Amino acid sequence: MSLEVAFTARAGRFELDCTFSAGDDEIVAVLGPNGAGKTTLLRAVAGLVPVESGTIALDGVVLDEPATGTFVVPEARPVGYVFQEYLLFPHLNARENVAFGLRSRGMRAHDARAVADTWLQRVGLADRAKAKPRELSGGQAQRVALARALAMDPRLLLLDEPLAALDAGARAEVRRELRRHLTSFDGVRLVVTHDPLDALALATRLIVLEDGHVAQDGSIDEVTARPRSRYVADLVGVNLFRGVASGTRVDVAGGEHLVVADPGQGAVFAMVHPNAVALYRRAPEGSPRNVWHGPVQGIDLLGDRVRVRIGGRLPLVAEVTPGAVRDLELDEGVEVWASVKATEVVVYAA
């Protein structure tokens, strides 16, 4: 099974231009900041947002293609959709909520309820079949919504921020359960989230969406090892600079440059891990190749490490020990020198 997406869509003034494919051998997380177009993408695939141009196809069957006038209505698409707010019918109990879609497709009430009971058992809610949505916890409501989607026997499962409505206490447990259900589903799976922890825990592949475009697409290891945008770099926790390489020199914005170990040419990204940044209160002695000067703009304690944000012409983040913070008497506004070895700069094509 496969989903093929290459389309443009519009929601108000926002335009989404998206191209990718997804197979049934992977769990794909669509990750991105608020306003990136994640929900618009899911709604377009489900047929709830009109496509202006391009094609959406599932298993070789075109669902949406304005050029040929092809449009499969949402209720006829083999798509299960778990909405962010779950959208359970408040006047129906869990069994009737799960059975609703089946009955709307013409299945007899008795048979639909039997299928619903089977799915409620699979998600561990057999004893809550008669409970109304207001009587369910957030995690239970999420599982009912998932059972309702899966009961329709879809070939594509769409989940929009499936864990966003849960409190921190329930999130980890429900995340594990959701991963188990996603793994057992034999169709295409597309999960939208803004939380990198959810994406890393649930998915085998990441599609990063920014400003209505696919900014990065690849396995979790590929995306985290070579981020291609400031958003991804911040998620991974690294310093990322875009510049132009000429031999072992990379010129970046603000008139600054980095000296690197491996020579190159043309547009590149230069990545520096925060733990590779050494800090000093005065200009370091010797002749280090990469040295910058600027004020401390923030200090954040992360377990046994401290992340220090430094301003100046080349803003960057250093990661040091609490002891180093004390020894250097670091505080906001203090001027520091930062140094990075050329061998610690990772360079790759932009």
Instruction: Dump pLDDT digits (tens) for 64-105.
Output: 999 999 999 998 999 999 998 888 999 999 999 999 989 988
The mean pLDDT of 321-336, rounded to a whole number, is: 95
* Packing angle of the helix pair 94-104, 109-122 (nearest 10 deg): 130
Q: Give pLDDT tens digits for 189-228.
A: 999 998 888 898 999 999 999 999 999 999 999 999 999 9
Give the pLDDT confidence score for residue 190 in this predicted structure: 96
Band of residue 44 on the pLDDT scale cut at 50, 70, 90: very high
- List Cα–Cα distances, 71 to 32, 49, 67, 104, 113, in angstroms: 28, 11, 10, 20, 31
Give the pLDDT confidence score for residue 164 in this predicted structure: 81
Sign of CA dihedral 248, 252, 258, 261: negative
85 by DSSP, 3-state: which?
coil
Contact criterion met (CB below 8 Å) for 159 and 202:
no
How far is residue 297's CA from residue 104's CA, in Å, rounded to a whole number?
58
Please name the helix (run of DSSP H) or strand (run of DSSP E) that holds residue 190, with its range, or none.
strand 188-193
The mean pLDDT of 245-266, rounded to a whole number, is: 93
Band of residue 170 on the pLDDT scale cut at 50, 70, 90: confident
* Whether residue 58 has pLDDT greater than 90: yes
Per the CATH hierarchy, to which homologous superfamily does domain 2-234 belong? P-loop containing nucleotide triphosphate hydrolases (3.40.50.300)
Give the pLDDT confidence score for residue 162 in this predicted structure: 85
Number of Cβ within 10 Å of residue 174's Cβ equals 20
Give the pLDDT confidence score for residue 259 in this predicted structure: 96
| Residue 289: burial class (beta carbons within 10 Å; 0-12, 13-18, 19+) | middle
The mean pLDDT of 243-254, rounded to a whole number, is: 94
Give the rounded percent of residues in the chain with a pLDDT score beyond 90.
76
Band of residue 17 on the pLDDT scale cut at 50, 70, 90: very high
Q: Are strands 205-210 and 213-219 parallel, antiparallel or unpaired?
A: antiparallel
Tokens 């597309």, residue located: 190
Lookup: tokens for 43: 């709604």
Give the pLDDT confidence score for residue 122 in this predicted structure: 86
Domain ranges of the chain: 2-234, 237-349
Q: Walk across the sheet containing 316-320 and list its strands.
A: 278-280, 335-340, 290-302, 305-310, 316-320
Give the pLDDT confidence score for residue 85 in this predicted structure: 84
Give the pLDDT confidence score for residue 175 in this predicted structure: 86
Class of domain 237-349: mainly beta
Band of residue 318 on the pLDDT scale cut at 50, 70, 90: very high
* Whether residue 349 has pLDDT greater than 80: yes
Band of residue 320 on the pLDDT scale cut at 50, 70, 90: very high
Give the rounded percent of residues in the chain with a pLDDT score beyond 70.
100
The mean pLDDT of 257-270, rounded to a whole number, is: 95
Q: Give pLDDT tens digits for 281-310.
A: 999 887 778 999 999 999 999 888 999 999
